Each structure stands twice: as C-alpha cells, then as structure tokens.
Amino acid sequence: MTHTSLQPAQAMLGLLDPENDDPYPLYAALRESGDGVQWCEPMQAWFATRHEHILEMCRNPRVYSSEHFWAGPVSEHNPADPRQVASIDVASRQFMVTDPPDHTRLRRILSPHFNNTALNGRWRDLVERVVADRLDRLRPGQTIDFMDEVANLVPVAVIAGVLGAPFETDEDLAQWRSWSRDMGATLDISIHGEAQEKAVLGQGELIDALAEILHLRRDDPRDDLISAVAHLADDDGEPVDERDVLAQLMLLFAAGNDTTIGLLGNGVELLLKHPETTARVVAEGAVDAAVEEILRFEPPVHFDLRLTTEPVVLGETEIDAGQQVFQILPAANRDPRVFADPDTYDPWRPNARSHLSFLHGPHHCIGSGLARLEGRIMFTRLLERFPGIRLAGDPVRFTRNKATRGLALLPVTL
C-alpha cells in the first residue's frame, strides 16, 4: 500500500504502532491528505506536517505556546510520591516549556556558552579530544557496535565536559547516560503508568546529581557552565531559584546527549549505506553539507508540541483555543513543496539547511551549533582513520519512542 492510498486515520494507527520502524510513508500520507493538518483521535491532538505550517507556528509563539508542560503527558506522575513531585516541579521550569519573556530571559543567560566564540574555541577542542579518545581505542578491521562503542558515549562525554559533570570511567558515563535517557523517556508520548513513573524517578536522580555539583561549584568554581550559573541573580539582584537553575542544566544535559546520539548513529548509517556518495563527500570536503542533509533526511527528533492560546486557522483547519498541536518535523523535512525529490539523500542539496530539525524562531535549539560540531568532527575523523569502514549487519532501530528516532544497534567493520 503506497502512502497516497492510506487514509489519515490508517496512517495515525500505523504511526503509533510501537513495532513500526519506518514512519516516513505514514508521515507522507498525513502531509499529502487535505491541508496536511490532521486530527489524532488516540492522542486528542492535532498533527501539523507541512513545512510552511510548522514554520508559521514557530514564528508565532504568542498563539502557539510552548507553555504546555501541564497539558501534556510529560507531566504525568504519582502525586503521592514526594520524589516524583520534586522531579516534576523542576522539570516544569525548563525554558523549552516557557514563552517570552521568561523564555527570553533564561535563554539569554545560557546563549553565550553556545555562541560561535565558544564553539570555535573551547568546545571544538573538547569535541576533538573526546572523539580522539574514543577512536584511539579502536583498530582497523575490528567489528563493533558503533552505538555501544562510540555514539552512546561521545555526546554524553562532551556535554558533561561543557557543564562540568565529573566522570572518570565509561561506567560513570553510562550512569549519566542512563539518567539522561530517563529524562528523555518522560517526553515519550507512548509511555504511561509505571514506566512513566520510573522515568520521572530517574529524572529526579539526574536533578539530584546536578544539584550536588551545583552546591560544590558555589564554593569551588571551575571553568564550566555549572560554575557560571551557580550564583545567578535576576534583574532585581535576587538569587535565581535553584529549581530554575537545575531545570536548565537538566535540559541541556539531556538534550545535548540524546539528540546528538541520534545524529551520530543516523549519520554513520547513511554514510555507510551510500559509499559512493560518501567517497565524494570526503574527496570534496563536503562533510558540513552532509551533516545538514543527514539532519534533514533522518532527524533525531520527530515530535514537538505547542498549545493554542486562542482560536486559530492553520492551513484550512480551524483549531480551538487550548488544543495540543504536534509539529511533525521529519514530515516537514520531506515536504516536496520545499525540497525537490525529498525522499532522496543528497548531501549537495542546495537548501538542505532549510530543514526544521532544530526548529525555528525563539525556540530554535540553543545547542544546535554544538550538535553540528560533534557531527562534523566525528564523521570527519571516523572516515579519516577508518577509510574502509562498512556495515557489518542490519542496523536495529528503537521503535517505541515516537518523539525521537535513533538506533539501538549499528554493527560496523572498521
């Protein structure tokens, strides 16, 4: 059955199927039916799938609000458990679920740590060191799971270095990674009940670990982001509530970890599935362009949520105030109204950077530059050191979490 013969209701059911590992035909069916704005009955929410509509939503935060934390599944928890209550209280303060002016104020505090000066200086050096350390452990001809040996460890080591979260061993990194994954699981639209409560508790452990470091840095500051925010004050000179500080640190840690893991895994899979194209990318020094096309073609984040603050018309669809509208980013990234031959991976696509994988407008991903830097350095150094790298089996995808798309297994021979 082709996507053009699927009805939106059928596509929705397929999309929410926890075993489905290829959502793209379903996204296309939703995007090309009617005006591309579809009602999802199981989720009681709207799906926006076209590039122009998502761009419109991103540019209008007054109408399409990000203050949706308490309206969505991310806030689910057991109110009788004080640990879960504390975890959710902090999570509700993340700047990604706020609107201007609060969002603007919080983002302004953090932005200098992710600007071009930081990226081209200290963070470039950090990423180079982390990537080199990981690749130094490998040998040509060796067969490995790239996710387990490389992709799952590099981003967490980088973001830990940026924030100042200590680690000495891979086991330490695995613990930070586990907490980060719990935080990410709270965003999974398919998780409820005991699984959601477990994720909320894991998120609380991440918060507690960051709080311990924050307290230490107040008396013993280092050259890291946690030290930089340890004594934050508001516009009146009053100390910023510690819960607000921890919320942003938690967000940066998890977002800087999980999404970049997806980028590295998805990217290496594409590079190895298209060896002739990759050879040309290397020969022409076009890794930057390949990173943008990887982000467009196989983005790590698939769903983003907005809440309407007033009645609105999106496309030709009337949406009431107080409605949840999910932005389906990969559907927009393959919108044929914007991208020619959108289902083809093409690193020389002239407008690949028009993708919405990092959103747009006030909520454009603050760490997008760092993610791009990690992708560029990892792909470049990997192909330099192991020019004969090839797939050694079929990749296996995570399928239950519909909000993100990444690999559980990527066997390669170096």
pTM, rounded to two decimals:
0.94
Q: Give long-range contacts, CB 8 A cutoff, 24+ apart: 196-201.
A: 196/73, 196/76, 196/77, 197/77, 197/78, 197/81, 197/84, 200/76, 200/77, 200/84, 200/87, 200/88, 201/81, 201/83, 201/84, 201/87
Could you say which residues of the chain have pLDDT below 70?
1-5
d(CA 378, CA 126): 12
pLDDT at 1: 40
pLDDT at 359: 94
Task: Supply the pLDDT for residue 147.
Answer: 97
Would you state the structure tokens that stand for residue 15, as one six-digit string? 């999309």
> What pLDDT does residue 28 have?
96
pLDDT value at residue 127 = 97
- Pick from 43, 82, 142: nearest CA to 390: 142
Task: Go through the domains of the chain in sequence order and give each one's CATH number.
Answer: 1-65+302-356 (3.30.43.20), 78-288+361-413 (1.10.630.10)
pLDDT at 4: 54
Contact call for residues 74 and 187 (beta carbons, < 8 A): yes
